[in-house]
Structure 1
Amino acid sequence: MKKRIALLTVVLSIAMVVFGGAMTAYAGHQCSTTVLIGDVNLDGSINSLDYALLYNEVYYAVPLANQLQYIAADVNYDAAITMQDVNILADYILGKISSFPAGATYTVYYGDLNGDQLVTTADQKVVSDYILGKTSLTFRQFVAADVDGDGYVNSLDLAYITQHINEQIQHFPVCP
């Protein structure tokens, strides 16, 4: 048993030396935010106020205040806020349905854009491609990429993600 522990220790030590900054960091130990799907005003309950906000966004193009609200409003999980979301939310409030196609909650792991709960170079590339205009981000990816919490995804967010991957920082500025 002691030989196995010693061997495991040696293997892990070698792996740390070889992989160095390229090792992957778990986003789960970073901060995260959980959004209640359907709770468009983010007050912890789903009611007619949420419906009114969603209705105004869809019919009158009154933008929601932040990206977390868009995650909550996308009750059918199609990466768009449409009339279908309004109708599904109405059915939920009226008791015609008891759950949303998007599920009950969604947890944003900051820095994790591909949903694997890790912050890796794959996430770094998605942010880089977005900044360069090569790709777009879903509501969920946008929130995860905004690791400084300023409402924008830019080169500063990319720098923080890179520093995290290289183990130069342990927490993103958006973390409490």
Structure 2
Amino acid sequence: MASAASISAASRSVSSTRPWNPNFTHCDRERWICLYPAYINSKKTTKEGRRIPKEKAVDNPTFIEIRDVCAAAGMTISPESKVYPRELDHRDNKALGRIRIQLKQEDGSAVLEEFKTRTDIFLYVAKTIPKLKTRQQSQSSSQSSNQQPGGKGPKKKGKKGR
């Protein structure tokens, strides 16, 4: 799990955002899109903030997983220590974290051709997170813990059950 210390350490290098100005260009960090883990969480409803179809979403994605996937895809990202406004428990470390992603260049064209819209990015991240090594290791360990060795048979009753 992502601790608050690792998230705040990742976002320390980021300068604070400025007040909104309509003259900002697409290169300014304030114009980049935001991606909260709730946007791609299959456990959330659309009212709770999910932005993609449930069958394409991921079970409880973390800030760290999203950051790793976006960085590996070559996106220009900026991690921030923010909490999703619809989150019920703002002190929960699992809800902490927001990624800002540069979608367009200064001239308005896409930074990466395969990601032209924010939905393209959301779907790519949701498709890629289950392929991460950390996800595959946790799935294999949960499957092995469900398979108990044969051992003894069912427990026998006491004297009264004879």
TM-score by length of 2: 0.24
Structure 1 or 2: more helix by fraction: 1
